[in-house]
Amino acid sequence: MPNASFTVVDLASESASTKSYDNHPIAQVNDHEVRISTMTDPYHWHCHPDSDETFLALEGGLYIDFDDRTVELPPGQMITVSRGVRHRTRPIGKRSVNLTFERAGARSEKLAAPDRCQLSR
């Protein structure tokens, strides 16, 4: 087998943003993307009609609001939100850093309450 190509990702450098919200890809795994998100303000209500989304809290923790409850995700914990489920994320404390895993090219639809996501087939 030929030598494998690889890239080492420095998460501290990737999460050094001072923006109120920064979310960008840091790796590709088959047909999925790994993204790093740094936030100091809540993100708007939205859904992903064509992909599940997994969150892994790294720093500060994350609140994930759903229509019927809020989940608190401290650093080191992970949750998967099924496609089509309306949600929003907020930092626990002043700043949150988390990884998200979703299908590359997944759509994100901004939703206002009580809008529903139009699932892709």
In the prediction, which pLDDT does 110 show? 87
Q: Residue 118: what pLDDT?
A: 72
Which amino acid does the sequence have at 22? D
pLDDT for residue 31: 95
Return mean pLDDT, the chain.
92
Domain boundaries, the chain: 18-108
Considering the domain 18-108, what is its CATH architecture? Sandwich (2.60)
- Determine the straight-line distance between the first and last CA of the chain, rounded to whole angstroms: 38
pTM of the predicted protein model: 0.89
The whole-number pLDDT of residue 120 equals: 67
Residue ranges in the chain modelled with pLDDT below 50: none
